[in-house]
Amino acid sequence: LREILTAPTKEAVAGIVESHRGARSETEKVLLEEITDKTLTFQRDPRLNEALYPKITERGMNAILRSLGYSQGDVSFEAFVHYLWSAFCVDSPNIPEDRVADSMHEPLSHYFINSSHNTYCTGLQVKGAQLLSSSSHKETVADVEMYRQVLLSGCRCIELDCWDSSDGPVITHGPAALFGMNEIPLKDVCEAISECAFKTSPYPVLLSIENHLSQKQQKLMVQIFRDTFGENLLCDPLESHRLEEGQLLPSPYLLRNKIIIKAKKAKPKVNHRKGELTYVVYLHCGCSSSNSTDQESGMGSNLDTHTFLTLLNGEKNINCSIIHTS
């Protein structure tokens, strides 16, 4: 079977089909129209660019059959199986692994990386688009299953938007009161990632962390990463690639089966989800700076939203910033 998958021939396919034919009629045929339709419906990856990867037509399928050694219109079961194992099939596995591996020795930054934004989201993320009559998804939902699907489809960089909750770190789009999206536990997401990270590729998976966690829950996040990913989690620089000036990043080959964290340290703050904000408003003049104290800048107090917006609309020379308070 391995030989057939790497270099299928008409004779090899015929032998396999014959040994597994059973009660199937030797003269059974599949309509050319049917095989073309099934290929478009069930096999074609809907994410493919139609300009670079045109949809197959009956004429194109006939050309493929001729190139495989069958007469025009000969869509026997044997011919169909041969097509599935050939390089013409969209999901063909017959790309030699050594050819891929030979090109994976450059620094990681030299590659385009198949990446996902807001990986956890299903449905429409733009609120206005939900009003379109053609929309089949009227609600945006966070779903653990999305992480499995994107990893199995070959994605190597996925996003985790991490927020505080009473039960520990969760993945969601933002404060529930503002976005109205459900929350999924970070632990469940990490288990899904660990399950599927290297099923389709041994090359590294990058976790792009959007960190909105308090310091306490950041520690919980780190513990979840360590417990779930184990030795697959890259915690220290490779011996051959120390964090030194001028040092290039390791290659995908050296980072095989590794999970890499891409994140920034969050500034100390309280739970965003409570929405407790203090508006610091200060008058802008030639002698003051953004680092001035409340007294020096002329104004600084806790304001309600209406008063704050009124001030902004009425005074063009007011600068403002927002800080979180406990």
Tell me, what's the pLDDT at 315? Answer: 44
**170 found inside a domain:** yes
Could you tell me which residues are beta bridge partners of residue 319?
282
> Do 45 and 19 share a domain, yes or no?
yes
| Given 82, 105, 110, 117, the catalytic residue | 117
- Looking at residue 44, the DSSP 8-state letter turns out to be S
CATH of the domain at 137: 3.20.20.190
Range of the domain at 174: 106-238+246-262
Q: Are both 74 and 138 inside the same structural domain?
A: no
Helix pair 145-152, 186-196: axis angle to 10 deg:
20
Where helices occur in the chain by DSSP H, the ranges are 2-6, 10-19, 32-38, 58-67, 77-84, 97-102, 145-152, 176-179, 186-196, 215-229, 294-297, 305-314
Residue 298 inside a domain? The answer is: yes
Q: Is residue 95 part of a domain?
A: no
Quick one: 111 and 252 in the same domain?
Answer: yes
Query: How far is 316 from 300, CA to CA, in rounded Å?
Result: 17
DSSP for 52-86 reads TSPPP-HHHHHHHHHHTT--TT--BHHHHHHHHTS
Quick count: other Cβ atoms within 10 Å of Cβ 60? Answer: 14
- Please give the Cα distance from 90 to 45 (Å, whole number): 8
Provide the pLDDT for residue 124.
67
Token readout for 44 is: 């074609």
Task: Tell me the CATH number at 80.
Answer: 1.10.238.10
| 92 assigned to some structural domain | no
Local structure of 3: helix, strand or coil: helix
User: What average pLDDT does this structure show over 236-242?
Assistant: 91
What pLDDT score does 181 carry?
81
Active site residue 173: yes
Give yes or no for a contact between 282 and 319, defined as CB atoms under 8 angstroms apart: yes
- Band the pLDDT of 119: cuts 50, 70, 90: very high
Listed residue (211, 167, 207, 173) closest to 190, CA to CA: 207
Contact 164, 271 (CB under 8 A): yes
Distance CA 206, CA 259 (A): 6
The pair of three-digit structure tokens given for residue 185, joined into one six-digit string: 């536990």
Note whether 194 and 305 are same-domain residues.
no
CB 189 within 8 A of CB 161: no
Among residues 173, 272, 284, 324, the one annotated as catalytic is 173
Q: What's the pLDDT score for residue 266?
A: 55
Q: Which residue has the tokens 């703050």?
A: 269
Out of 34-43, 121-130, 227-236, the most confident range is: 227-236
**Within-domain flag for 91:** no
172 vs 181: CA distance, rounded Å: 7
Residue 22 included in any domain: yes
More confident residue, 200 or 133: 200
Q: In whole numbers, what is the pLDDT of the chain averaged over residues?
A: 72
Q: Coil, helix or strand for 133?
A: coil
Instruction: Give the position of tokens 């290659």.
Output: 251
Instruction: Find which of 38-42, 108-112, 278-282 is predicted with most confidence, using mean pLDDT.
Output: 108-112
Structural domains of the chain, count: 3
Residue 45: the pLDDT is 66
Residues 133-151 have pLDDT tens digits of: 554 555 778 999 999 999 9
> pLDDT tier at 195 (50, 70, 90 boundaries)?
very high
Residue 254: pLDDT over 50: yes
- Cα–Cα distance between 40 and 33 in angstroms, integer? 11
Per 3-state DSSP, the chain is made up of helix, strand and coil in percentages (nearest 5) of 35, 15, 50
- Write down the pLDDT at residue 189: 97
pLDDT over 60 at 80, yes or no: yes
Q: Is 117 among the catalytic positions?
A: yes
Same domain, yes or no, for 285 and 256? no
* pLDDT score for 79: 77
